[in-house]
Every structure is written in C-alpha cells, then in structure tokens.
Amino acid sequence: MIVDCAVYRNGKRVPAEEDYSDALAQARAAGSDSSFVWIGLHQPTPEEFDLVASEFGLHPLAVEDALKAHQRPKLEVYDDSLFVVLKPVIYEPRSDEVSTGEIMIFLGDAFVVTVRHGDTPLHAVRDRLEREPETLERGPTAVLYAIADTVVDHYLEVGRELHTDLEEVEAEVFSPSAGGTRNTAERIYTFKRQVLEFRRATGPLTAPMLRLAENGRGGSRVPFVDDEARPFFRDVGDHLMRVNESVEGLDRLISDILSAHLAQMSVRQNDDMRKISAWAAMAAVPTMIAGIYGMNFEHMPELTWTWSYPTVIAVMAVLEYFLFRLFKNRDWL
C-alpha cells in the first residue's frame, strides 16, 4: 500500500504530481540537490511496487529483496540507486517479547523510496523532518540519516528495557523460593531468544554505518549520499556501538545466569538425594530388626522372654535417634 508521495524543494513540501514519473521530473526540474521526491510504501503488492520500480529504475535484485523481506541489515550500491536495509526492533512490555520489522530504503538521483514491513511507522520521522526544513534541505541523505538515527535510538530504549527484564530474571533465579522452578528455566531460555533476535538486528548494521561514516575517505565513496553527512552517520555508528556492547553484555549475563540456575538445580537435587538416602537408612534399621523376628522358625532366641518386645522397640528407638543425630550433624536432614 502506498502511504505517501511528496516532493520537497529547499526543505519544504510542495504540491506533487500524482504520477510517479511526473513527480520525479518535477523534483529534477528544480535543478537543486535539495529537491527530491519521497515515496513511502507499506508491504506493497508486486503490482504496486513494479510500477514504482519501473518509474525509478530500481535494480531487480533489490526489488526482490524489498518484496520478500526477511533480509539482514545491509547496504548495497547499484548503478542507479543505493539500497539500505534496516531492522527496527519492537518491544512489547506486556509480554516481554522482542520482534523486528524491516525498512528498505532506495536512494537515487532526486528520489527516496521507503518500503516498510511490520509495525514500523515512519510518519513520525517524516513529520519531524518537515518541521526541520534546514535538515530536509540536505536532500535524500537527510531522510536516510533520520531513519537510521531513529531506528538506532530505539535500539537504546529496547536495550534498557531488556536490562530491566534481566534484573528481574536474576532476582528470580537467586530467590530461595523460586530459583529452582521449571518456569524460571523457561523464562531464561525465552529471554535468551529475545537477546538473539535483538542481536540479529543490531550486529549486521555495524558495517553499513561504518561505511557511511567513512564515506569518501580512502577512495571509497557511497553514491547518492552527501559527503558532509559523515559526522552524522558517525554519531549513529557510536550509538550503535553502545547498543552492540549492551547486547553482548546481556548475552554474557544471561548465559551466566543460566549456568548459575543449572548449578542451583544440581545442588538442590543432591540435597534431595541426601535427604532421601538418610531417611531410607533410618527406615532400614527397624525393617531389618522386624524382618529377623518375622521369620517363622520355632527355635529362636529371645522369643520366650517377657521383656523381648519392649527391648526390641527400645533398641530401634535408640538406633533411630543415633542415625537422626548423625545425619542432622552432617546437614543431610
């Protein structure tokens, strides 16, 4: 679905032609680097996107990626356009789940085409840029920077939320009452999957941001991106580095918590086995004595004694008390 189509000139939105090719011609006719057309699409059908691709000369491989989605964050350079993939992360506080969407950005000569998959609205970015004409005057590069900056800044927010969840998991693991429950192990594995999903979005984005931050240095230039935007992309890269360090820390901590939880489970199982063994040993003594006197032999000692029964009971009680004190002193009971 086509969300918006607008032409911008000198940082301000101007009335645009309804036809894509006419809108692009309108932007190019201005003869200024700050004039461009920005088309936003949300999960377009092949028919809808084929029209845009043909009008703007988008590369077939990039078009295929934009339609199928499920791409890693990346930056690819084609003859007539630049193709950038970003993966916004969405955190659901009620379910403590992390999900990802996708934003594909095509940059070319006087045009920007954004394709969204999932619940990752860009209208807030467009509205903010339209309120900042001095930024939007930078042309398509400003759009790429604003989207990347918004996505990475949201990574920082998600990272803080995950750190809060991690503290709750850690407190649950080391709680005497709940540390050994099966639900705790399930929550740890679920959290580890969320961290992995988060890493898949943040990790691969490092290389594209580094390339944009170093644009034009060492003879390697990214086309359709203003060289003066290097400091801005470097700032995004710095934020992304903080996010990746945070994700690495989360992954290490949750692995340590999982190891601690498994160790606690093992210790508690050993304690349970010692208790079971102690009670079994205490039960074995009277069972043995009763078993001996339960044999059906005619000539057995003590059978005719008057005090045989109370003596046997007293011996059982003394032995049980001795074993109880012994196991109690060794913390088996």
* β-strand partners of 41: 2, 115
CA distance linking residue 67 with residue 58, whole number of Å: 12
pLDDT of amino acid 307: 75
* β-strand partners of 199: none
pLDDT of amino acid 179: 52
Q: Is residue 7 within a helix (H) or strand (E), and if so which, with residue range?
A: strand 2-9
In this structure, what are the phi and psi dihedrals at residue 284, rounded to the nearest 5 degrees? -70, -30
CA distance linking residue 108 with residue 219, whole number of Å: 20
Q: Residue 232's pLDDT band (boundaries 50, 70, 90)?
A: very high
Which residue carries 């489970």 as its tokens? 265
Q: Residue 87's pLDDT band (boundaries 50, 70, 90)?
A: very high
If you average pLDDT over every residue of the chain, what do you get?
A: 84
Q: Residue 18's pLDDT band (boundaries 50, 70, 90)?
A: low
pLDDT of amino acid 219: 59
pLDDT of amino acid 89: 92
Which residue carries 């470097």 as its tokens? 234
pTM reported for the whole predicted model: 0.78
207: tokens are 């290389």
State pLDDT tens for residues 149-165: 999 999 999 999 999 88
CA distance linking residue 9 with residue 11, whole number of Å: 5
SS3 213: helix
Distances (CA, A) of 71 to 12, 39, 250: 33, 21, 24
Mean pLDDT throughout 203-222?
84
Mean pLDDT throughout 66-89?
91
Which residue carries 């994700």 as its tokens? 247
Q: What percentage of the chain carries pLDDT values higher than 90?
A: 28
Q: Residue 279's pLDDT band (boundaries 50, 70, 90)?
A: confident
User: pLDDT: is 33 or 171 the higher one?
Assistant: 171
Q: Residue 180's pLDDT band (boundaries 50, 70, 90)?
A: low
Say what angle helices 182-202 and 230-293 make with each other, to 10 degrees. 160
State pLDDT tens for residues 97-131: 888 899 999 998 888 999 999 877 788 898 999 89
Whether 42 shows a pLDDT value over 60: the answer reads: yes
Q: Residue 333's pLDDT band (boundaries 50, 70, 90)?
A: low
CA distance linking residue 160 with residue 68, whole number of Å: 31
State pLDDT tens for residues 242-278: 999 999 999 999 888 888 887 777 777 777 787 777 7
Give the type of residue at 251.
Answer: D
Q: Residue 63's pLDDT band (boundaries 50, 70, 90)?
A: very high
Mean pLDDT throughout 4-16?
82
- DSSP labels, 193-234: HHHHHHHHHHGGGHHHHHHHHTTTGGG---TTS-GGGHHHHH
pLDDT of amino acid 85: 95
Q: Residue 30's pLDDT band (boundaries 50, 70, 90)?
A: low
SS3 119: coil
Mean pLDDT throughout 50-66?
89
- DSSP labels, 266-302: HHHHHHHHHHHHHHHHHHHHHHHHHHHHTS--SS-TT
Cβ within 8 Å of residue 144, ≥6 positions away:
84, 105, 107, 112, 212, 225
Closest CA to 52 of 1, 16, 92: 1
